[in-house]
Amino acid sequence: MLEKKSNLKTYFTIMFALFVIILGLFGVHWQVGQAQTLPTVPTIPIVFSLSPDTICVGSTNVEATIRGEDFIDVNYTWVKWLDADNFYSYIIPDFVSVDKTELRFTIDADKLDEVYTARIWVVNHPEEPIPNELAGPFIIEIIGCEFIYLPLIMK
């Protein structure tokens, strides 16, 4: 009788261990999938400065820099641009610093073809249907720059 109880305990122990291992395997797979798609803590970026804040109309591509805090990386922090026609577009940054305090992006020349006031936002997790981790709007003036060239007169 003692041998039969011992075998029964061993059988239940082995079955329980297998059950825990199988649940663990499913759990690990589920956690990896959730961690990739759902951020656990919302991170709202903070912006201290934007440079340049004025650009001449007709300029070629312009490099812009935003300094602040809580930028993630080039995959999860983008710049949202509102142009003169009230059309939104996203600009993917060229660079985000390791300490997450500087973001650099390129403004294409086709966004600089008329005089207007552009509005930009810094957005963390722009892939969300309604991104709520954003800072802004910040203003970039696209202005007409006309230069008068005077001849040099020598006496």
The number of CA neighbours under 13 Å toward the Cβ of 154 is: 0
32 or 100: which leads in pLDDT? 100
Burial of 103 (0-12, 13-18, 19+ CB in 10 A): buried
Element (H, E) at 15: helix 2-37
Q: Where are the domains of the chain?
A: 1-38, 46-143
Domain 46-143 belongs to what topology?
Immunoglobulin-like (2.60.40)
Residue 71 CA, chain-centre distance (Å), reads: 7
Average the pLDDT over 70-88 and give the result: 91
- Phi and psi for 50 in degrees, rounded to 5? -130, 130
Q: Give the 3-state secondary structure of residue 122.
A: strand
Amino acid at 135: A
Average pLDDT of the residues in 56-76:
93
Q: Residue 22's Cα: distance from chain center in Å? A: 37
Note the pLDDT of residue 31: 43
Q: What angle do CA 19, 22, 25 make, to 5 degrees?
A: 150
Mean pLDDT of 134-149: 86
More confident residue, 89 or 131: 89
The single-letter DSSP state of residue 90 is E
For 115-127, how does the pLDDT look when each residue is reduced to its tens digit (9 = 90+)?
999 999 999 988 8
Q: Which of 32-41, 110-119, 136-145 has the lowest mean pLDDT?
A: 32-41
Contact (Cβ atoms closer than 8 angstroms) between residue 79 and residue 105: yes
Round the average pLDDT of the chain to a whole number and report it: 84
Does the pLDDT of residue 2 top 50, yes or no?
A: no
For residues 40 and 125, the answer to whether their CB atoms sit within 8 Å is no
- Whether the pLDDT of residue 153 is over 90: the answer is no
Give the list of residues 6+ apart from residue 155 with CB closer than 8 angstroms, or none: none
pLDDT band at 80 (very low <50, low <70, confident <90, very high): very high
Return the pLDDT at 82: 94
What digits encode the pLDDT tens for the residues 82-108?
998 899 999 999 999 999 999 999 999
pLDDT beyond 70 at 68:
yes
Task: Please say if the pLDDT value at position 34 is more than 50.
Answer: no
